[in-house]
């Protein structure tokens, strides 16, 4: 089993390398006419993969030809769900490589756990597909380098599932930050306090559920006995598969903190945290963490807490741009500006500008456009 996993890793590294890439055939898609359909296949359809598919199918001239999941129970349910949406069933696969062999598929949506992003991404790139890949794009910098090289080699159109980039109220907030009205920005706060995420109690290992190809789910990750705590949604709290709250929510929130500041490489980064709230539960990643980034002329703070909602400015998550004239605060509900100066405000207050909740739909439309 270890040899098989080593083979998967080494094969992916080799096939994405520029030197070997020229020997691999490229299946080019024909250009779509204005009234032709854009056809997708989805790898990983339980959670965000299915949300992404729904957003895709809300766009005109789209259809779903195939779904792939290692859990037959999930796969059967989603095939039925898609049939209700488009009137006919997509094909079902348990191995994404078989899905990629299907003719007529233009777009691949990757909604797998984080540790399974790189390999299907590279395979899909080699087949000339357009790719929509869930965030975070990968677990390791070298995986990102591999994926970037693949796209440069094969010329794919790619969208990462950081849908807040297409959410209008987030864009409007950043336009205000860039206007200079806040004055000199001295620090940026980015945070996520998620009270819905409670402690995960320790559970014993068990038999693999019927209909689940657990070995294929592990893929390039280390071999371990099946444990329901590490499977499906909770994979994100274990280092073998993901990076915890910072890569789950932080990839959205920190992205906008950096975007608002037109940030380049930080001068230094310091992080601290741990399992302080639930030291004995099943999770591995920190339930409490802060990271401090030093840039020229300002600092940026990331702060997260699991099991509580007491974030900054009375919000469970968001970004706060702290300027000499005032602070702009933005989260998924909307944005506002809080002036400095008390009775003699340094700038006008901007009342809450509410969002419309269309970020994911807008992001998918942007991808298709």
**pLDDT surpassing 80 at residue 237:** yes
Q: Which residue has the higher pLDDT, 275 or 5?
A: 275
Rounded distance between C-alpha atoms, residue 254 and residue 266, angstroms: 13
Q: For the segment 39-56, what is each residue's pLDDT rounded down to a tens digit?
A: 999 999 999 999 999 999
Distance, in Å, from the CA atom of 298 to the CA atom of 296, rounded to the nearest integer, reads: 6
Confidence of residue 32 (pLDDT cuts 50, 70, 90): low
Mean residue pLDDT of the chain comes to: 92
Structure tokens at 191: 């945070």
Whole-number pLDDT of residue 177: 98
State the pLDDT at residue 6. Answer: 53
- Counting residues of the chain whose pLDDT is more than 90, the rounded percentage is 89
- Measured between alpha carbons, how far is 187 from 300 in angstroms, rounded to an integer? 6
Task: Check residue 36 and give its pLDDT.
Answer: 85
pLDDT band at 33 (very low <50, low <70, confident <90, very high): low
Confidence of residue 20 (pLDDT cuts 50, 70, 90): very low
Instruction: Note the pTM of the prediction, 2 decimals.
Output: 0.89
Rounded mean pLDDT of 175-181?
Answer: 98
Q: Is residue 323 within 8 Å of residue 260, measured between CB atoms?
A: no
pLDDT at 205: 97
Domains and CATH numbers, the chain: 2-161 (3.40.50.720), 168-200+217-355 (3.30.360.10)
Q: Rounded to whole angstroms, what are the CA distances from 363 to 196, 216, 368? A: 26, 30, 9
For residue 186, pLDDT beyond 90: yes
Of residues 214, 177, 164, the one with CA closest to residue 357: 164
Tokens 């205000």 sit on residue: 176
Between 11-15, 32-36, 337-341, the lowest mean confidence (pLDDT) is in 11-15
pLDDT tens track for 110-157: 999 999 999 999 999 999 999 999 999 999 999 999 999 999 999 999
Measured in residues, the chain has a length of: 369
Residue position matching structure tokens 């109690």: 201
Residue 259 has pLDDT above 60, yes or no: yes
pLDDT at residue 13 is higher than 90: no
Paired residues of 350 in beta bridges: 337
Mean pLDDT value across residues 288-296: 98
3-state SS of 110-161? ECCCHHHCHHHHHHHHHCCCEEEECCCCCCCHHHHHHHHHHHHHHCCCEEEC
Residue 300 token pair = 């940026």
The rounded distance, in Å, linking the Cα atoms of 17 and 22 is: 9
């Amino acid at each position: 089993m270890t040899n098989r996993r080593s083979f998967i890793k080494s094969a992916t590294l080799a096939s994405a390398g520029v030197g070997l890439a020229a020997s691999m055939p490229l299946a080019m898609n024909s250009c779509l006419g204005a009234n032709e359909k854009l056809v997708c296949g989805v790898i990983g359809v339980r959670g965000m993969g299915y949300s992404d598919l729904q957003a895709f199918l809300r766009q005109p001239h789209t259809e779903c030809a195939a779904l792939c999941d290692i859990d037959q129970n999930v796969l059967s349910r989603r095939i039925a769900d898609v049939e209700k949406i488009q009137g006919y069933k997509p094909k079902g696969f348990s191995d994404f490589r078989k899905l990629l062999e299907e003719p007529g598929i233009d777009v691949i949506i990757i909604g797998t756990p984080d540790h399974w992003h790189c390999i299907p991404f590279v395979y899909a790139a080699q087949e000339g597909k357009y790719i929509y890949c869930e965030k975070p794009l990968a677990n390791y910098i070298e995986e990102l380098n591999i994926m970037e090289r693949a796209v440069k080699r094969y010329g794919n159109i790619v969208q990462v599932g950081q849908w807040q980039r297409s959410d209008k109220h987030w864009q409007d907030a950043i336009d205000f930050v860039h206007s200079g009205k806040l004055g000199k920005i001295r620090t940026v706060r980015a945070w996520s306090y998620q009270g819905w995420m409670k402690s995960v109690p320790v559970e014993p290992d068990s038999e693999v559920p019927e209909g689940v190809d657990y070995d294929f789910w592990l893929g390039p990750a280390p071999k371990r006995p099946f444990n329901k705590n590490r499977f499906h949604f909770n994979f994100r709290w274990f280092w073998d598969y993901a990076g915890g709250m910072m890569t789950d929510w932080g990839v959205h929130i920190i992205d906008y903190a950096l975007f608002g500041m037109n940030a380049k490489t930080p001068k230094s980064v310091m992080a601290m945290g741990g399992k302080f709230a639930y030291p004995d539960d099943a999770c591995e990643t920190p339930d409490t963490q802060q990271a401090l980034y030093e840039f020229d002329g300002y600092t940026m703070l990331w702060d997260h807490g699991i099991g509580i909602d007491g974030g900054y400015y009375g919000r469970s998550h968001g970004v706060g741009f702290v300027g000499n004239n005032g602070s702009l605060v933005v989260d998924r509900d909307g944005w506002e500006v809080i002036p400095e100066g008390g009775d003699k405000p340094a700038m006008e207050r901007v009342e809450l500008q509410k969002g419309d909740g269309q970020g994911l739909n807008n992001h998918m439309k942007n991808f298709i456009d």
